[in-house]
Structure 1
Amino acid sequence: MPVALHPRYWGGHLLALVLVALACRLGLWQLDSWQAHREAEVADFSDVTPVPLLDVIGPDDPFPGDKVGRPVELSGTWVPEGTVYIEGREHDGEDGFWAATPVEVDGGGGSALYVVRGWTPSPAEAPAPPVGPAEVTAYFEPTEGTNASDPDRTDDVLPQVRTADLVQHVDQDLFSGFGIAREPFAGLEEAELDQVSQASAFTGLKNFLYGIEWFVFGGFAAFIWWRWSRELAAPRERDEDAADEPVTSTS
């Protein structure tokens, strides 16, 4: 019988197995938590009852990370001269643009929220932006930050929905987010939400790092277990090697 498997060492083996299994289980638990955080950030709010925009965010508030995609209601006044078109947006596999027009929100202290009214194959084919009072239900999204540069800041075509680009087209301050109309406006197709509702790279990062840490602990425990088993076997190997050596006599 190998020395390491002698019954007097079973307690040590059992302890090592428990430690490795526990570390792996905790690692998987943390990774599950990491995935759950990411899924929560992009939760499907399509059937959720809309709430007033100002109940979700104030004019000067940062974007609430747990409200991505939340349906909101807002009223105010359209600002048609601030209309822009966001390029590189797909609909049924066809490349095109989002048509976005700001709404100066009632009770928002003069701040405006850009609302994506829908998708169009080209700005020239988009209907005229609305004017007058606005009543909108929209999915609330954080502004984008792909770092794409705007090659022509004098036109109304933008590469992304970024506050630094949008603010140049309106006189109002902007909310830290934008809306995608729940139903496309007349003459436009539906804007596809899956192009924006993506979890941040930092979402649940702490849980991910904890998960990796537990796997490292488990690997370290397995290594110590292996070394300990080797050390138990080493004396017997030395004895066997010594027994195989020829005996020399001295006269």
Structure 2
Amino acid sequence: MRALLTPRMLGAHLIGLVCVVVAGGLGLWQYDAWQRHRDSEQRDLTQAEPVPLAAVLGPDDRFPADSVGQPVRIEGSWLPEATVFISERRHEGTDGYWVVTPMTTGDGADEAIPVVRGWVPTPADAPAAPTGPGDVVGWLQPPEGTGAVDDDLTDDIYPQLRVADLIQRVDGDLYGAYAIAEDGVGGLPAGDLEALPKPSTSTGLRNLLYAIEWWVFGAFAGFIWWRFVRDSLKEEPAEHPVPSST
């Protein structure tokens, strides 16, 4: 134990500790920068300027994975007879329902997109669905597929917002998406955003690689310190006198 506390060994301990701590800290700093880049990309998309729905998604298009949360402008006509409610939606810590009414995407259009008008504690609290022309800005979302089972197929309440469940209520086609009205419609509280955009795999990748590089350097510095200590503690072979032949 005394050999570990010599000035030479104490210097080695200090250098090894500094290298490991600095490398670990710089790695954490780069990792945090990588995470901030990804979080920033998520926020930026939801706060982007609204674009026409047609600029992001067509009636027969698959949902673009990089457009989750994109604000879109929908201009058309409401289909109040197709209004439904989506259960088990929370708002400010309270369970309730989404109020969903499809909108056509233009005068005389055969295509419609479900719009989450807002949130209500119970379906009975929902105001009458709007009629006539409409103009809504909402966050674009992919259809849900939670696997939840609808226990009552005769009512207007669904456990998830699946486009397939609404097709029978609309004369025409439905987009493979829905939109959550940013400010709510008709005084309703806006529905909470269910899904955020997923950042691309390359977002902040350089920072992540730098973090890994620093951690590898720290591990290597720790290995060098361990080898130095181990070699220094090896006992030198003892010298034995050669017995005399006389």
Instruction: Give the Cα–Cα distance (whole angstroms) in 2 for the partners of residues 41 and 49 of structure 1.
Output: 14
Instruction: Give the Cα–Cα distance (whole angstroms) in 2 for the partners of residues 107 and 229 of structure 1.
Output: 79
Aligned runs of 1:1-251 on 2, under 5 Å? 1-2=7-8, 17=19, 25=26, 28-43=29-44, 45=46, 48-106=48-106, 110-186=110-186, 188-193=187-192, 195-198=193-196, 200=198, 204=201, 207=205, 213-214=212-213, 217-218=216-217, 220-234=219-233, 237-239=234-236, 242=238
Tell me the CA shift for residue 225 of structure 1. 1.5
Instruction: Give the Cα–Cα distance (whole angstroms) in 1 for the partners of residues 144 and 31 of structure 2.
Output: 28
CA deviations on 1:126-181 (whole Å, 9 max, x unpaired) are 22323333322223233334333333333221222233434454343332321122
TM-score where L is the length of structure 1: 0.70
Tell me the CA shift for residue 113 of structure 1. 0.9
The 8 Å contact of residues 79 and 104 in structure 1, kept in 2 or not, is answered as yes
Q: Secondary structure at the match of 2:97?
A: strand
Q: Secondary structure at the match of 1:54?
A: helix
Q: Secondary structure at the match of 1:89?
A: strand
List structure 1 segments (4+ residues) > 4 angstroms apart after TM superposition. 3-6, 19-24, 202-216, 247-251
Query: Aligned residue pairs: how many?
Result: 233
Equivalent residue number for residue 10 of structure 1: none
Instruction: Give the Cα–Cα distance (whole angstroms) in 2 for the partners of residues 80 and 155 of structure 1.
Output: 16
TM-aligned CA distance change 1:221 to 1:166, over 3 Å: farther
The 8 Å contact of residues 41 and 68 in structure 1, kept in 2 or not, is answered as no
Instruction: Give the Cα–Cα distance (whole angstroms) in 2 for the partners of residues 117 and 192 of structure 1.
Output: 7
User: Percent of pairs identical after alignment?
Assistant: 34
The 8 Å contact of residues 87 and 96 in structure 1, kept in 2 or not, is answered as yes
Instruction: Give the Cα–Cα distance (whole angstroms) in 1 for the partners of residues 147 and 216 of structure 2.
Output: 38
Gapped runs of 5+ residues in structure 2? 1-6
The 8 Å contact of residues 77 and 103 in structure 1, kept in 2 or not, is answered as yes
TM-aligned CA distance change 1:24 to 1:57, over 3 Å: farther
Instruction: Give the Cα–Cα distance (whole angstroms) in 1 for the partners of residues 224 and 90 of structure 2.
Output: 55
Tell me the CA shift for residue 116 of structure 1. 0.9
The 8 Å contact of residues 59 and 174 in structure 1, kept in 2 or not, is answered as yes
Tell me the CA shift for residue 233 of structure 1. 1.0
Tell me the CA shift for residue 204 of structure 1. 4.5
The 8 Å contact of residues 117 and 184 in structure 1, kept in 2 or not, is answered as yes
Tell me the CA shift for residue 71 of structure 1. 2.7
Gapped runs of 5+ residues in structure 1? 7-12
Tell me the CA shift for residue 190 of structure 1. 1.1
The 8 Å contact of residues 76 and 134 in structure 1, kept in 2 or not, is answered as yes
The 8 Å contact of residues 41 and 65 in structure 1, kept in 2 or not, is answered as no
CA RMSD of aligned residues (A): 3.9
TM-score where L is the length of structure 2: 0.71
Instruction: Give the Cα–Cα distance (whole angstroms) in 1 for the partners of residues 166 and 222 of structure 2.
Output: 56
Give, as a single letter, the amino acid of the residue that structure 1 aligns with 2:71: P
Give, as a single letter, the amino acid of the residue that structure 2 aligns with 1:147: G
Give, as a single letter, the amino acid of the residue that structure 2 aligns with 1:149: V
